[in-house]
Structures are given as structure tokens and as C-alpha cells.
Amino acid sequence: MDFELPAELVGYLAELDAFIDREITPLEQADDNIRFFDHRREDARTDWERGGLPNAEWEQLLAEVRRRADAAGHLRYAFPARYGGRDGTNLGMAVIREHLARRGLGLHCDLQNEHAIVANNVGLLLMLEYGTPEQRAEWVDGLASGTKFFAFGITEPEHGSDATHMETLAVRDGDDWVITGRKTWNTGVHIADADLIFARTSGGPGDAAGITAFLVPTDAPGFVVEEYLWTFNMPTDHARVALNGVRVPDAAVFGGEGRGLAVVQHFFNENRIRQAASSLGAAQYCIDQSVAYAKERKPFGKALATNQAIQFPLVELHTQCEMLRALIHKTAWSMDTYGTFAVSEQVSMCNYWANRLCCEAADRAMQVHGGLGYSRHKPFEHIYRHHRRYRITEGAEEIQMRRVAGYLFGFMGSKAPKGV
């Protein structure tokens, strides 16, 4: 077995670092843009008068970063070469996402809004996999450049983890579909051109079949954003929406009638392994910063680093990072080798553990840094508040553990291919 990363991937990390140092860091330091990363960050980023939405200047700055990254050939790394990408792999994306997060918060990577100079644009990958030729013609270029976007309408106010019990219904009416229901936690819908709404078109509650995905324009009559839900970490772009008899043509069906659950699972697997890598990078950042601080800080005349009470908790976290890194790399490689659905069990393992580990590392970093760590002059409290979200929103860790148990105890489908 060869655990060495491909030489071209290692070289690409150096290329990314050079780009960040040359173009992104100077932009971060210009025109007081650093205000978005200091102790004032929530006020700087948040438009309290517009329901707590991200500040327009903040989003414009992120758009400029994406433009620069695209011009430099980085934004589309994961996409096929024919769409301006580099045919990036799942392993490559996992390594890159960890690398960027390990550098800490900045314009190169701000996980609060899934922003990075290498885009985690799962929407485009889904479009290439499930979109009709007409849908691809309309969406691919905009998705690839970051100028078009669709949100995901999966969760409902009364149904979160039990997605197959959704109450949103779509009924045929001639050549159209009429959709009625409500969705919540529709992230990014304020800038979305469409919302990918999942609705039951046949079958009954709990049935996996009979759920259909629809690309619903956000300006369609009857599509109403009711509220943006304020969260532990602001700003918010998480909307609750109502669909009051929204009419869409049959051409809005995405991925085939009654087969929407496959789209959901594909999205989850692709997104979860990348999110796990980002959480791992953020956790390692917290550890790295804590080690450095413990060497410098000298209460009672000696460095904190000489105390086992400081050493041992960081050793345990660092050890967990090393073990998790190996599992993430193996799982991402397996997805590239055997397919996205071949290692759903391992994806769940990576994701729930990485998100939990990041919270533990951020909490420990706050403790090591003392009052300074608790303050908003250091990023650890922000990292904790943000990554605490992923222990719920990427599929609650209990649900992911249940998924692993399903494979472990034989309640779910066949195991991954031998050797995976």
C-alpha cells in the first residue's frame, strides 16, 4: 500500500499557497477588509436590517475572490476539463479542503458560507450527473463560474432527518406540476436562481421511491421566503420557505420522476467527505495554534508547554487527527475507485467524527489560550460556533451513527467492495 500523496497534488498545494500569498492575502488586508475576520466579524458580515442576511459588501468581496480564483484556474479544480476544470478527484478535493482550512480563517477559505478558492460546487457535479441536456445548457456555465446557484429544499419544519416522510406534495396538472408545502434551512436561497425542491409525487410516508426533485425558480408565483432563521453563528442565509401552489413545467424535474432520493444521497456523500476534510483542517489549525501558544506563554515563569495538563489533551486531539486523516484519504480514494455510493458507511464515519473533533479542538484551543481564547480577538470561538452546526446540518451525528450501525449489523445494503 502506498500512502504517499500524488506528486502533482502536493505540487498543486504549493501552487495554491503561492496564489493566496500573491493575490488573496493582499486583498484581505486592503480597504479594511480585515474587519470581516476580527472581533467585530458578526456586525461586519451581518445586515441586521435585512433579517440578519450576509452584508452585501461581504458577499461582493467573496465574489471578487471567486472571480480571481477562476481567472487563475483554481475555482473549478473539481470539474471536468471540458468545463474549465482540472478533472479533480475526491481525494484531491479532500486534501485541498483540509489544507485550506488548516491555514485558518481568511478570504482563501471561510467555511461559514462554504467559500473557498477551490469551489465545493456539488451543485455542478449533480447537474452534470442528473441534469437533462436542456438543464445543463442553462446551468452549467453559471454554476462553474459561481455566477448561478441553486439552493436545496430538502428539510421541512416537521421533518428533518426523516426525509422520506416529507409532506411537500407535487401533483400533475396537464403538462405542469403544482407544488404545495414548506421547506426550512434552505441555505443561500437569498442569492439563488432556483431552489431544488424535493416533493412526494407518489407512494406514501416513509417510501424511498416516489420523491421527485424540481428546479423551482425563486421568483415563481407562490414561492415565498417566510423567514431567515437566526443561528448560533451569524449572519444567516438559512430560510424557511412556503410553496403555495407553485406551478412548474415537467422540464423542471431533476434526476427523473420519483428518483429524487438518489440525488439527495449523491449530494450528501460528495458534500460530507469534503466537509469532513474541512473540519479536520480546522481542528488541526486549532491544535497547531495551541501548541505554538503553549510554547510562548510563560505563567509562573515557565512555558505552558512544559505542563502535561496542557500536553496530553493536545496529544490526544493530534492523534485523532492523524487517524481521521488516514480514513478520509482512504474513503475519498475509494469513492474515486469504486464510485460515490460504494463507501457510504465510511463517509458517515468520517463526517460525524470530524465535525465532533473540530468542536473539541476549538474548545481545547480556547482553554489553552485562556481568556484570550474565549474572546473574539482569536478565531476559536467562531470556529466552534460555526462547526457546531455541522454536527446537525450535515446529517445529525446520531443519524450518521445509525447509518454506520445499519451496515455494521446488517440492516442496510451490502457492504462496500472487498478491500475498501
CA triple 341-126-253, angle to 5 deg: 110
DSSP at 81: G
**Is residue 417's pLDDT more than 70?**
no
Q: Name the active-site residue from 42, 394, 397, 398.
A: 394
Of 92-106, 122-136, 404-418, the range with the highest mean pLDDT is 92-106
* pLDDT over 80 (residue 372): yes
Active-site annotation holds for 394 = yes
Q: How far is CA 33 from the centre of its chain?
A: 24
CA angle 310–103–353, rounded 5-degree value: 65
Predicted pLDDT of residue 415: 44
Which of helix, strand or coil describes residue 266? helix
Going by pLDDT thresholds of 50, 70 and 90, the confidence category of residue 205 is confident
- What gap in Å lies between CA 19 and CA 387, rounded to an integer? 26
Q: According to the per-residue pLDDT averaged within each range, which of 94-98, 119-123, 296-300 is highest? A: 94-98
Place of cell 415565498: 224
Strands (E), 221-316: 223-228, 238-249, 253-254
Q: pLDDT-derived band of residue 418, with 50, 70 and 90 as boundaries?
A: very low
> Beta strands of 149-220 (E only): which ranges?
150-153, 169-173, 176-187, 194-200, 211-217
Grid cell listed for 395: 446529517
Interatomic CA distance for residues 136 and 290, integer angstroms: 47
CA–CA gap between residue 148 and residue 67 (Å, rounded): 13
Give the number of other Cβ atoms within 10 Å of residue 135's Cβ.
17
- The mean pLDDT of the chain is 91
The tens digit of pLDDT for each residue in 206-220 reads: 888 899 999 999 999
- The answer to whether the CB of 164 falls within 8 A of the CB of 208 is yes
191 contacts 179 by C-beta, under 8 angstroms: no
CA-wise closest residue to 194 among 144, 118, 248: 248
What pLDDT does residue 353 have?
A: 96
> Is 312 buried (19+), middle (13-18) or exposed (0-12) by CB count in 10 A?
exposed
Dist CA 339 CA 343 (whole Å): 8
Q: Residues 133, 175: contact at Cβ < 8 Å?
A: no
pLDDT digits (tens, 9 = 90+) for 167-192: 999 999 999 999 999 999 999 999 99
pLDDT at 330: 96
* Secondary structure of residue 225 in the 3-state scheme: strand
Which pLDDT does position 147 carry in this prediction? 87
pLDDT grade for 102, boundaries at 50, 70 and 90: very high
Q: Please list the alpha-helical segments (H only) found in 151-259.
A: none
Q: What is the pLDDT of residues 258-311, one digit of tens each?
A: 999 888 888 888 889 999 999 999 999 999 999 999 999 999 999 999 999 999
Which has the minimum average pLDDT: 23-32, 378-387, 405-414? 405-414
